[in-house]
Structures are given as C-alpha cells and as structure tokens.
Amino acid sequence: MTLTIHRGTNQIGGSCVEIATATTRILIDIGLPLDSKASEDNLNLYNPSIEGNIDAVFISHYHLDHYGLLPLLNESIPVYISEGTKTIFEINAIFLHQKEMKNLKVIKPHDEIRIKDISIIPFTVDHSAYDAMAFLIKAEGKRILYSGDIRLHGPKSKLYKFLPKEVDYMILEGTNINNEVDNIKTEKDIEEEFLSIFRSNSEAINYVWCSGQNIDRLVALYRACLRSKKIMVVDVYVANVLKEIHGLNNKIPFLNSHDNMGVYYPEYATNNLKNSGHWNYAIRLDPNHYKVTPEMISSEPGKYVVVIRPSVLKFLRKCTSSNGNLITSLWKEYEKRDENKPLFEWAKAKKHNLYYVHTSGHASLNELKEIVNTLNPKKIIPIHTEHKEKFKEHFTNTLVIEDCEPLLL
C-alpha cells in the first residue's frame, strides 16, 4: 500500500491524499488551494491520469480547500460525504451557482464503508464546518487516521477522544503548529464578546461579517442576540442554510422556530432565485412575517444585529444608520483582500466602530499535543501546514514527506 499527499505538506488548504493498494485507489479530499480557482491546471497538479482509475473520493467537510476541485472529476466516481456536507453542497448549487454534485453518497459516523480491499470509517470532529469528519483507513494490515480539519475549542470539543488510538499513521493537520497561543478562545468566549459589544451601546446598529456556513459562529451570535434582546437578521442564503441544517439538528436556530430572527433579501439574490426557477427558496421563509428592510433597520438600529458579507453592500448602502459597529468574525486575511475593501470604506464613511471577534477553526499547538497524547499514534505525518518541520520539535515520531512523494507503508 502507498500513501501519497498530492498537495498539503507545504501549504494550508488544497488538501488531497491518495491511498492505493494493488487493486484500489481512493482520494481523501480534493481541495482547491487558497486564493485559487478551480481549473484543469489545478487538477493536473496531482496527476494527469488521476481521475481515470480512482475508485472513490471521501470529503472531510464542505470548505473549498478540501473539496473545491471535486467538480472537475469524472461524475461516475462515487463521492462519500456527511449529511451536513451534502446539505451545504445542495444549497450552494442553488444560491452560489456551484456545479451540482453527482453520485454523492451520505455516510454516517462509525459506519464502515468498503471500497474493494480498503475499509474507511468516518468519525465526527470539532471544526468550523458543521458535520466535519476524520477518517480511519484500513488496508493490508495497516491503519491510517486522517484528521481532516480539527480543533478542541468548539461545541464538539470532546469528540476527538473517540478517534481510534495507536494507529500506524496519523495524517494530522498543523494549521497552527507555529502559533504558540496558551489560551485560545472558545465559541462561548466569542458569544460573550458579541454580547459585550451589543450591550456597550444598546441603540447602535451591529453588523457582523461572518461565514454563512459557520454554524457554530451563527449559533454563538444568535445566543448573544437572545441575551441582549436583539433580532438577528440574516440574508436569504444564510436563512436557507440554517433551515436545512435545522432539519438535521433542531437545536440550530431557524426563522420559523425562533421569533427573534429576521431575513433580508439582497436584490442580486432574489433576481438569481427568480431567474433560476428557485423562487420557492425565498417564499418558504415566510417573508410576510420575517422580512426586514433597510427602512426598518434605519428607523430602529438598536433593535437589530445584521449578518453580512461584502456582496450585500448594495443593501447596506440603503441603511442610513451611522455610528454603529462592524464586527469581523472570520479569518483575518479576508480583510486584506482587494474585493473586500469597499465594505470597510463604507463602514468608515458611516463612522462605524470596527471590531474583530474570532477564533480559529483549527487546533492550537497545545490542542495538537492533547490529540497526540490521547491517541498515541505510532507515526505522525503533517498536512495542511506551512511549517511541517515544526512537528519534529514537538513530536519525536513525526514522519515528514513532500507533496507527490509516494510513501510505501
């Protein structure tokens, strides 16, 4: 059996791992590199013949740096994903015009899937993507654990303890291996920071830029809104994400079951739904009861917390309130991108206060140590990192390999 990391040993994102026996080849993730677009050139970075004889693909979660090149693969290849990942794929196909995925097969935690002579068992892990998975791969008497993206400071922080112990090889993500932070914030800490800002000026409008797919962050925000007696307003895309995830877990807040929520309809989003024949995704949210307009926000700014992103700037310009708060709650690098600068120019013109309230979706160095100490793998192979050599400083059983370098197990 051979293990090949086609990409991920020298960068964060773009992960793709191949496990191959004499008769079987599977891929674990097939991610798009950060700051890249899906193209045949990126697919060929792995191997020009890779899709011709791949038996199956397993996707750990719905972040583009783990599945972004999937639409370029042959549609006949079966793709195994969690229920939460499938849900996001379906919503994105409607709202974001992403290619509709074919041959998707939903897998449940701890269920064993056999692909010829390879067995794969998924495990739910804590990450900033809902229903993210790690995978145990068994073949030819060896056990390999692929961590996917993982952390220990979210709502599912204890699940790592149920991952397989003493595996032969653990492919472990190291996004934060070079960041020695002693006390990493939890999602509960994020909720408290939101709450503190909301209470600091009860009459101010609050705008929060966070990912509409980060369910843990949206839940933390919702709880802060509930405690501060504010209405959490999301756009039609995020409302549909929450509706579908609520269908999987009724503890997730959603319009029809939570009165302190509202929905707004950016013009570009409603036009897309009308033109694509998916208008039902707008009206099923009961806009007569839950719709929030710029006029409503402008007349009672302290009543609302509005979840935004740069693409809704046209809607925001219709809101006349000033001297409010713009809270960024995602990866800091997004603030620096040219396409996002108009959002901050708008905020400056409106004299909004700027806040940064965020915690990583990835394990801290101390959390990585906790994972390794608990699971005690025989060998650790770094992935999803720009500092793979740092693993050797902390884990004596580290095995460093390069992209596209087959490792005979």
Which neighbouring-strand residues pair with 94? Answer: none
**Cβ atoms within 10 Å, residue 402:** 10
Helices 236-248, 267-275: inter-axial angle, 10-degree rounding: 70
Write the pLDDT tens digit of every residue in 313-343: 999 999 999 999 999 999 998 999 999 999 9
CB 203 within 8 A of CB 225: no
Question: What pLDDT was estimated at residue 227?
Answer: 96
Residues 16, 50 contacting (CB under 8 angstroms): no
pLDDT of residue 42: 54
- Asked whether residue 378 carries a pLDDT value surpassing 60, the answer given is yes
What is the DSSP code string of 223-262? Answer: HHHHHTT-EEEEEHHHHHHHHHHHHH-TTS--GGG-TTEE
- The CATH architecture of the domain made up of 187-356 is 3-Layer(aba) Sandwich (3.40)
Element (H, E) at 4: strand 2-7
Q: Are strands 118-124 and 16-20 parallel, antiparallel or unpaired?
A: unpaired
Domain parsing of the chain, residue ranges: 2-180+361-408, 187-356
Give the mean model confidence (pLDDT) for residues 97-113: 92
CA distance 204 to 391: 46
Task: Note the pLDDT of residue 102.
Answer: 84
Distance CA 37, CA 138 (A): 33
**At which residue do the structure tokens 């710029």 appear?**
294
Q: What is the pLDDT of residues 259-302, one digit of tens each?
A: 799 999 999 999 999 999 999 999 999 998 999 999 999 999 99
Instruction: Give the pLDDT confidence of 113-150 residue by residue, as tens digits.
Output: 999 999 999 999 999 999 999 999 999 999 999 999 99
Q: May I ask the CATH architecture of the domain 2-180+361-408?
A: 4-Layer Sandwich (3.60)
Of the listed ranges 161-165, 168-172, 187-191, 403-407, the least confidently predicted one is 403-407
Task: Quote the CA–CA distance of 57 and 118 in Å, as a whole number.
Answer: 12
Q: Specify the pLDDT at position 46.
A: 47
pLDDT at 49: 47
Mean per-residue pLDDT, 212-232: 97
Pairing between β-strand 118-124 and β-strand 133-139 as defined by DSSP bridges: antiparallel
Beta strands 353-356 and 304-308, pairing class: unpaired
Q: Token pair of 183, please?
A: 């006390």
Instruction: Determine the Cα–Cα distance for residues 272 and 265; give it in Å rounded to an integer.
Output: 11
The whole-model pTM stands at: 0.94
Helix (H, G, I), strand (E, B) or coil at 384: coil
